Amino acid sequence: MHHTAHYAGDRLLNEYCFTREGFEEPFSILYLYHPPTGEVESMPYTGAAWGSLEKRDATLLQRRHFRSSKEQPQGHFISGRTPIAFNDDLTYGLCHPAELDSAFFANNDADELFFLAQGEIDIQTLFGKLKLVSGDYLILPRSCPYRFNFSSPPKLIYVEAKQHLSIPDNFINVRGQLKMDAPYSERSFKCPEWDAELMERDEPVSIVRKRQGTFTHTCYSNNYFKMSGWDGYVYPYAINLNNIQPKTGRVHLPPVSHLTFAGGGFAVMSFLPRVLDFDEHAVPCPFYHSSVDCDELLFYHSGDFTSRKTIERGSISYHPSGIPHGPHPGAYKNSIGLKQTNEQAVMVDTFAPLFLTRQSEGLEDPDYPTSWQEGTS
């Protein structure tokens, strides 16, 4: 029974409730060997600069393109991040760590979404370990300590969700099960596995926590993660693009048809290999559009992007609200009759305007705005 005494042998375990929205929303209960309050030292952590976000000076309202391939591996998974854009709801950026760090990290400011674009990562968390491969999304609940382990530097994009980030409510039936028309089922996900190496050992650990953009390094003389087990509804999870089912239609479907995750103030969509629109007069590529309340960030993960000028694998296009966008010159006509797409891309649409960061300047492609001129096809 919960909230009663549990033992490992004759040792009384410490019940630790990890709760959301006060005590009203999903929670998990862990049974720890050591109280989670046993820090022996806390000190400022100055190794990470991405907590304070600096917006660019006034920028032109225009379509933009950032090349993530220009971002060199740097630091480790805590320090090695480059924010590209942000608003009050989220921060979006790159995480290209170069080396390992023994410390764990907990983001107490935000739920986090990672998309692993390149490499493999063994991630250790408070709730167990997960193995990530290219094309995986990872969702981490706020305040959950974790650590990345890898043998060669991986490349990820990250999103800090200030309010919440989860599976969309309309994918879930009233009994809490994923509906049949959701783009994935329970079995599509990777969940944390028991991590004996972390959860059964006795050794000091340290956790770097971020709160209100400031980092604190906290040391424990015991293993914070040593436990007998846990249960509940709050934990990190992952899903690969290959395990998400795309939708297709008689004519072009709007992006919401490709919804994957819902955040407070934004949505995440996955564009996947699929049979294209099947009406004999369909124009399979996107219609020109002004989604007048949304800024759009699109990460090109894999496939043939040759119809999009200057775009390459790892490109990030930024199309702000207030300026129309759609297919590049030539692509609209050339798409008629196409039966299949093999592209994989990840889109984040925000409902409040984004600010671009100073760090984004070095990644920008100066030729992208003019690539939309009709005469360039």
Q: Which is nearer to Fe ion, 136 or 296 (CB)?
A: 296
Q: What is the smallest separation between the CB atom of 353 and Fe ion, expressed in angstroms?
A: 15
Q: What is the smallest separation between the CB atom of 314 and Fe ion, expressed in angstroms?
A: 19
Q: How far apart are CA 307 and CA 325, in angstroms?
A: 14
Q: Which is nearer to Fe ion, 66 or 105 (CB)?
A: 66
Can you give the binding site for Fe ion, defined by CB under 5 A? 296
Shortest Cβ contact with Fe ion: which residue? 296
DSSP H/E element including 105: strand 104-107
Q: How far apart are CA 299 and CA 315, in angstroms?
A: 6
Q: Which is nearer to Fe ion, 160 or 349 (CB)?
A: 349
Q: What is the smallest separation between the CB atom of 319 and Fe ion, expressed in angstroms?
A: 6
Q: What is the smallest separation between the CB atom of 39 and Fe ion, expressed in angstroms?
A: 46
Q: What is the smallest separation between the CB atom of 87 and Fe ion, expressed in angstroms?
A: 17
- Residue 336: name the closest of 374, 282, 288 by CA: 282
Q: Are strands 64-67 and 214-220 parallel, antiparallel or unpaired?
A: unpaired
Q: Which is nearer to Fe ion, 236 or 284 (CB)?
A: 284
Residues 136, 142, 144, 145, Cα dihedral to 10°: 90
Q: Which is nearer to Fe ion, 295 or 365 (CB)?
A: 295
The dihedral sign for the CA sequence 325, 330, 332, 338: negative
Q: What is the smallest separation between the CB atom of 83 and Fe ion, expressed in angstroms?
A: 22
What are residue 131's phi and psi, to 5 degrees? Answer: -105, 120
**Any residues with CB less than 8 A from the CB of 131 and at least 6 apart, and which?**
120, 121, 122, 123, 190
- Residue 137: name the closest of 55, 259, 254 by CA: 259
- Residue 84: name the closest of 295, 294, 305, 318 by CA: 318
Q: What is the smallest separation between the CB atom of 266 and Fe ion, expressed in angstroms?
A: 14
Q: Which is nearer to Fe ion, 71 or 296 (CB)?
A: 296
Q: Which is nearer to Fe ion, 195 or 296 (CB)?
A: 296
Count of all residues that appear for the chain in the document: 377
